[in-house]
Amino acid sequence: MHQRIRRRDFVRIGGGAAVGAALVANSPRRSRAQVTTVSYGTPGGVDEDEAWIPVFEAFNESHPDIEAVYMPLGGGYAPQYLQNLQARIAGGNAPDVFFVMDGLVAGFAERNVIVPIDDYLQAGEVQLDDFFEAHLESFRYEDQIWGLPRDGAPMALFYNAALFDEAGIAYPDETWDWGIFLEAATALTKRDEGGRAVQLGTGRGEWVNWVWQAGGDILDASGSTCLLGEPEAIEGLRFAQDLVLEHQVAPSAEDLADQTENDMFLAGRLAMFFGARGALGAICNAEFPFDAAIAPQGPARRMTRTNVGPTVLWSGSQNPEAAFELMRFICSAEGQRLKIEPTGFAFPSRVSSANEEWFTEFQCGQSAGKGINLAFREEIEQGWVRTWPTHPRWPEISTAITEEIDALYQGNKTPEQTGEDAARKVNEFLAEPA
CB of 312 to another protein, least distance (A): 13
Shortest CB 256 distance to another protein, Å = 6
Q: List the Cα angle 325/328/330 in 5-degree steps.
A: 110
Measure the CA dihedral 210/214/216/217, to 10°.
40
* 74 binds another protein, rule: CB under 8 A: yes
CB 287, min distance to another protein, A = 6
Helix (H) or strand (E) holding 232: helix 231-245
| DSSP string across 346-387 | S--SBHHHHTSHHHHT---TTB-STHHHHHHHHHHHTT-EE-
The residue within the footprint of another protein, chosen from 186, 224, 285, 363 (CB under 8 A), is 285
Residue among 361, 406, 416, 428 that touches another protein (CB under 8 A): 406
Of 31, 62, 360, 410, which one interacts with another protein (CB under 8 A)? 410
| From 57, 118, 253, 383, residue interacting with another protein (rule: CB under 8 A) | 253
Q: Does 100 bind another protein (CB under 8 A)?
A: no
User: Minimal distance in Å, beta carbon 81 to another protein?
Assistant: 9
CA-to-CA distance for 83 and 75, rounded, in angstroms? 10
Nearer to another protein, 168 or 433 (CB): 433
Site for another protein in 374-403 (CB under 8 A): 393, 395-396, 399, 403
Alpha helix (H) residue ranges in 267-319: 280-283
CB of 274 to another protein, least distance (A): 14
Asked if 97 contacts 323 with a C-beta cutoff of 8 angstroms, the reply is: yes
Range in contact with another protein (rule: CB under 8 A) among 124-132, 261-269, 352-360, 417-425: 261-269
H/E stretch holding 397 = helix 394-410
| Of 111, 318, 358, 383, the one binding another protein by CB under 8 A | 111
Rounded Cα–Cα distance for residues 333 and 67 (Å): 20
Q: Is the Cβ of residue 71 or residue 214 nearer to another protein in the bound state?
A: 71
Using CA atoms of 312, 402, 210, 142 in order, give the dihedral in degrees to the nearest 10. Answer: -30
For residue 86, state whether it binds another protein (rule: CB under 8 A): yes
Amino acid in position 406: D
The Cα–Cα gap between 343 and 53 comes to 13
Cα 325–327–329 angle (5° rounding)?
70
Considering only residues 157 through 176, tell me which ones interact with another protein, judged by CB under 8 A: none
For the four alpha carbons of 324, 108, 277 and 223, in that order, the dihedral sign comes to negative
Q: Does residue 11 touch another protein according to CB under 8 A?
A: no
Q: Does 33 bind another protein (CB under 8 A)?
A: no
Nearer to another protein, 89 or 136 (CB): 89
Query: How many residues at the interface with another protein, by CB under 8 A?
Result: 78
Q: Which of 31, 80, 224, 363 is in the footprint of another protein by CB under 8 A?
A: 80
Q: At closest approach, how far in Å is the CB of 197 from another protein?
A: 9
